[in-house]
Amino acid sequence: MKKVFLLTIYPFLALGQVISPTNPYTKSFVAPTSTSTGLVRQSAQQKAPTLFTIVQEFDAYWEGRDHTKKGSGYKPFKRWANHWEDYLQKDGTIAPPAVLWEAWERKQESEA
């Protein structure tokens, strides 16, 4: 049960940390909307950006900055981007958790 919970919640946590309206490199493709609780979230009306677009914006943001500075966030982002390269849909967007879950269920059925 614990594994199922972690597999379900992990994509939300990993994706939410990078595609945030408060990140300086996401301003061009994420418009923040505030909720009644004060949380900022991405509008559901927007088209999801491709991983390539996210990486391009990130690289443009870091151009001329010192990415070797400890705690800058450069390396965690690069790890995040490398991880999600394996979970892209045909249009280049990151697969939503529901798609990944369906793939997991199909794999489990085929192994049974």
Torsion from C-alpha of 53, 24, 8, 36, nearest 10 degrees: -130
pLDDT digits (tens, 9 = 90+) for 54-104: 899 899 988 988 888 888 888 988 999 999 999 899 999 888 888 889 989
Q: Let me know: does 48 contact 84? Beta carbons within 8 Å.
A: no
What pLDDT is stored for residue 3 in this prediction?
Answer: 64
Parse the chain into domains and list their residue ranges.
2-111
Amino acid at 7: L
Q: Say whether 34 sits in a helix, a strand or coil.
A: strand
Q: For 13-41, what is the mean pLDDT?
A: 61
pTM of this prediction? 0.62
- The whole-angstrom separation of Cα 92 and Cα 72 is 27
Show the 3-state SS of 81-96.
HHHHHHHECCCCEECC
